[in-house]
Amino acid sequence: MRVLVTGGAGFIGSWVTRVLLEEQHEVTVVDNLSKGFRTLIPEGVRFIEGDLRDEDHLPGWLRGHDAVIHMAAFIEVGRSVQEPLVFAENNIINSVRLLDAMHKADVGKIVFSSSATVYGTPQSLPIRETDPLGTQSNPYGASKVATEAFVATYHQLYQMDAIILRYFNPYGPNELHEPETHAIPNFIRAALDRKPVPLYWKGEQVRDFIYVEDLARAHTAVLAQAGLQYYNVGTGTGTKMIDVIGEITDILEYHVDIEDMGERPGDVHALYAWSEKLAAATGWRAQISLHEGLRRTIDWFRSQA
């Protein structure tokens, strides 16, 4: 299959691109490198340094592809609160530009990178795809809800196959965000530097941490899907933050101190997925344990040092 990946030079996008190549797909990456890194794009990929705002060139870049995996988005929650218009333009408007260009270029399938944030504060656990979407506490979450709605609209208008993947908490090698807002890379960086590990809520928050390679394989698993589909992508297991730090210290084989950051407004206490719908439809399941994933991630951060 000929697949175009937007944001394919980023953390998750570079892993998706690698898995696509491994499975013998032809791959084009479109990335403006504002957040991605050219060095993360593997050999064998056609690379276009371009922006989704470029409405003149976008249909031409798309033409001839069978599917798009759309991963080009800003993700920093705090920045979204400070710059909501920037997030609306980049995450929502650019996604509509992409969908419209896909229609013009006769590309009939999109896999959209969404997020478990669309559920807001869950009413029950584990979270299922049939659960209602929640009120959003920040523009980042609102941008995911809005883009999901536009993807569904283009399916309705033009019968575009639309597969929406709601990620839980990815982690792993190639995570080079600056500033870094995700827990696991911040835990690992602090621990490797022998600095106190920053921890909110005394580590009692529960999250569903999924290794990035497992997440990447979910994207190729759904390429054969048709219609409008929504899938959670998680391990189905919730882990407390304090227990993640315990796993990290077990791997490092030395003690690290904790920096108590207190409470943080807007945090949801617990999130973890019911991913049986995706497993039933495609056979996909997460394969890498938290301990093994953390070991690989620590090794990668050590190699960067």
Rounded CA separation 152/142 (Å): 15
- Residue 157 domain-assigned? yes
Residues 6+ away with beta carbon under 8 Å from 35 = 7, 10, 74, 177
Residue of 236, 235, 230 whose CA lies nearest to 129:
230
User: For the chain, what is the radius of gyration of the CA atoms?
Assistant: 19
Query: Residue 144 is part of which domain span?
Result: 2-171+209-234
The proportion of the chain whose per-residue pLDDT surpasses 90, expressed as a percent, equals 88
Rounded CA separation 90/217 (Å): 26
Residues 6+ away with beta carbon under 8 Å from 22 = none
The 3-class SS string of 274-294 reads CCHHHHHHHCCCCCCCHHHHH
- Residue 250 domain-assigned? no
Query: What pLDDT digit, counting tens, does each position of 168-179 carry?
Result: 999 999 987 676
Q: How many CA atoms lie within 13 A of 247 on its CB side?
A: 20
Residue type, position 93, single letter: I
* Residue in 140, 167, 171, 272 annotated catalytic: 140
- What pLDDT is attached to residue 176? 77
Mean pLDDT of all residues in the chain?
95
pTM for the full predicted model: 0.95
Q: Is 140 a catalytic residue?
A: yes
| Residue 77 confidence class, pLDDT cut points 50, 70, 90 | confident
- Residue 286 domain-assigned? no
- Residue 214 domain-assigned? yes
Query: What pLDDT digit, counting tens, does each position of 174-205 carry?
Result: 987 676 678 899 999 999 999 999 999 999 99
Instruction: Please tell me whether residue 52 adopts helix, strand or coil conformation.
Output: coil
The owner of tokens 């896999």 is: 111
Residue type, position 57, single letter: H
- Residue 72 domain-assigned? yes
- What pLDDT is attached to residue 180? 66
Number of structural domains (the chain) is: 1
Rounded CA separation 280/276 (Å): 6
Query: What pLDDT digit, counting tens, does each position of 93-150 carry?
Result: 999 999 999 999 999 999 999 999 999 999 899 999 999 999 998 999 999 999 999 9
Residue 109 · residue 68 · CB < 8 Å: yes
- What pLDDT is attached to residue 179? 67
- Residue 195 domain-assigned? no
**Listed range (53-62, 63-72, 267-276) with the worst mean pLDDT:** 267-276
- Residue 274 domain-assigned? no
Over residues 283-296, mean pLDDT: 97
Question: What is the CATH number for 93?
Answer: 3.40.50.720
- What pLDDT is attached to residue 305? 75
Instruction: Please tell me whether residue 175 adopts helix, strand or coil conformation.
Output: coil
Which residues in 21-40 are b (16+ Cβ under 10 Å) and which e? Answer: beeebbbbbbbbeebbeeeb
Give 202-228 as a DSSP string: GG--EE-EEEHHHHHHHHHHTTT--SE
Over residues 31-45, mean pLDDT: 94
- Residue 25 domain-assigned? yes
Over residues 30-49, mean pLDDT: 95
